[in-house]
Structure 1
């Protein structure tokens, strides 16, 4: 049955029997037969077909959602069995929110690959809420996010503290005035922030609540890199992780405002779906802890 589900998922994602057959190294009639067999075993049609498209119906949406979970669990089961006799190897599906995924995770993966070349990581970068949802659905083996998210079906662990600082473009009056600023002085500034649902946006909102002010104007952008470029261009100021601005500070592209009470601190946390972890996943978690502890 797992192969029937694999074929079904591939047809849905490719939206085409021929393309699915090509990727699965099967003939198109064989793919069609697998789908018919699955529909017969389920007891209803799952796909709406025409010469131009293949689409899920309501029953198909239910089966597709659960098929993804079943296949992920099957892969994890096989990996756990393989671990009984083998060294750390095999795939790890890693999810991370943007700050960790774009600025910290590549260095951890590079270091781990030197010592454990048989581990094959795949990485998905999304905002915090999306990463947690993918871990819950077994689409990811582990999620690493900014902040902390409690979910009773997940194992969660804070692994490090992250320092958040306020940055401004070169020549900004808040940088040229050589004195410690009060946070209330920044209320009239334009703030360039991440979108709702991101860990960095949550940190900024927590900062505003802590000091009881609302920025006069907020501009919302969907990536940290875009925010850094916007600050450098003079669009406004922002709250960013110190991990994300190391190169910009060294090169003088942006500056860090000296603000009373900062840096503002948040956490990085790990989230996994089960206590039964493969050697590869355990090795990766150890690598994360070791890198952040340095």
Structure 2
């Protein structure tokens, strides 16, 4: 026989010995009205159902609680004592419920969103306008940064929901794809690449100093991965901390850049920028909503997540 000691048995849960709140509320109603019928009407059940519930409670507790007679229903001495205890239990439950409602109200009164630059500038405004239509009293704050910063804010508890642009879900987070995007190589019309007929070779792109986002951005991660087989990125011509800054530098003619197609629709239409195709390298990426692992969004964060849709871009 094994000498390993057996673990101690767990004590019976208190909830197995205590009537449910509905039964206790019925008993309190009987005490107020002196009538099982009126008590049943107050709690919204039939008189036979009320009688059955009282009998079940008496069996559970092992004592008689109510004396029934043609003149009405009267609490026994034990019933009066149990009713006094029941009143305190019901009052505590009401206080508990009020506290939970207050917590939920405080949670639902604000929403903290962290998003990488492209999503913050070109997708979130529409989602937040739609959210405000349904939750006009919820205060929303938005912190924009690169994908690494968004992950850090979520893990530190400084944001309720995040949006990132990288190759994969950052460590410690769960997420879902909400949109798809492509990156484009762009130049000002005056750049020699804008007049070339053939697609750009990936090796030439890798060897050319580019205007780039900083390390940690989703755009930079995708580009680094795509060009790793061609020797990796050359030293950047400029390294800037926002999509808007990269776009402005490219429009000014400072050099070629790589930007989300979401960010350059107007510039391409007006020919302030020209897209340069790259042979065999589509530079597609997923845009994701993310949250701390194991803690799926609730309240306004859940509502915002429901407004997003994964729509592949043609």
- Normalised by the size of structure 2, how large is the TM-score? 0.61
Answer yes or no: is 1:161 the counterpart of 2:184.
no
Answer yes or no: is 1:121 the counterpart of 2:140.
yes
> What displacement does 1:233 show?
1.3
> What displacement does 1:238 show?
1.2
Q: How does 1:272-283 map to 2 (within 5 A)?
A: 272-273=291-292, 274-275=294-295, 277-283=297-303
Structure 2 match to 1:145 = 164
Q: How does 1:1-294 map to 2 (within 5 A)?
A: 81-82=104-105, 90-147=109-166, 148-152=168-172, 154-215=173-234, 217-273=236-292, 274-275=294-295, 277-289=297-309, 292=311
Decide whether aligned partners of structure 1 residues 93 and 213 sit closer, same or farther in structure 2, where only a CA change above 3 A counts. closer
Question: Does the Cα contact within 8 Å between 2:120 and 2:144 map onto a contact in 1?
Answer: yes
Matches of 1:179 and 1:157 in 2, distance apart? 37
> What displacement does 1:90 show?
2.5
> What displacement does 1:78 show?
6.3
Question: Does the Cα contact within 8 Å between 1:194 and 1:223 map onto a contact in 2?
Answer: yes
SS of equivalent residue, structure 1 residue 263: coil
Gaps of 5+ in 1: 1-76
Question: 1:57-110 CA distances to partner (integer Å, 9 max, x unpaired)?
Answer: xxxxxxxxxxxxxxxxxxxx7676349xxxx95211000011111221112112
Question: Does the Cα contact within 8 Å between 1:188 and 1:217 map onto a contact in 2?
Answer: no
Matches of 1:255 and 1:184 in 2, distance apart? 20
Question: Does the Cα contact within 8 Å between 1:164 and 1:242 map onto a contact in 2?
Answer: yes
Aligned residues: 212
Decide whether aligned partners of structure 1 residues 239 and 102 sit closer, same or farther in structure 2, where only a CA change above 3 A counts. same
- Larger relative contact order (C-alpha < 8 A, sep ≥ 6)? 1
Matches of 2:160 and 2:221 in 1, distance apart? 24
SS of equivalent residue, structure 1 residue 271: strand
Greater Rg by CA: 2
Decide whether aligned partners of structure 1 residues 79 and 208 sit closer, same or farther in structure 2, where only a CA change above 3 A counts. farther
Decide whether aligned partners of structure 1 residues 151 and 188 sit closer, same or farther in structure 2, where only a CA change above 3 A counts. closer
Question: 1:36-70 CA distances to partner (integer Å, 9 max, x unpaired)?
Answer: xxxxxxxxxxxxxxxxxxxxxxxxxxxxxxxxxxx
Structure 2 match to 1:31 = none
- Normalised by the size of structure 1, how large is the TM-score? 0.65
> What displacement does 1:156 show?
2.4
Matches of 2:195 and 2:158 in 1, distance apart? 48
Decide whether aligned partners of structure 1 residues 210 and 111 sit closer, same or farther in structure 2, where only a CA change above 3 A counts. farther
Gaps of 5+ in 2: 1-99
Decide whether aligned partners of structure 1 residues 212 and 257 sit closer, same or farther in structure 2, where only a CA change above 3 A counts. same
The range that moved more, 164-173 or 206-215, is 206-215
Question: Does the Cα contact within 8 Å between 2:180 and 2:312 map onto a contact in 1?
Answer: no
Question: Does the Cα contact within 8 Å between 1:150 and 1:156 map onto a contact in 2?
Answer: no
Question: Does the Cα contact within 8 Å between 2:202 and 2:227 map onto a contact in 1?
Answer: no
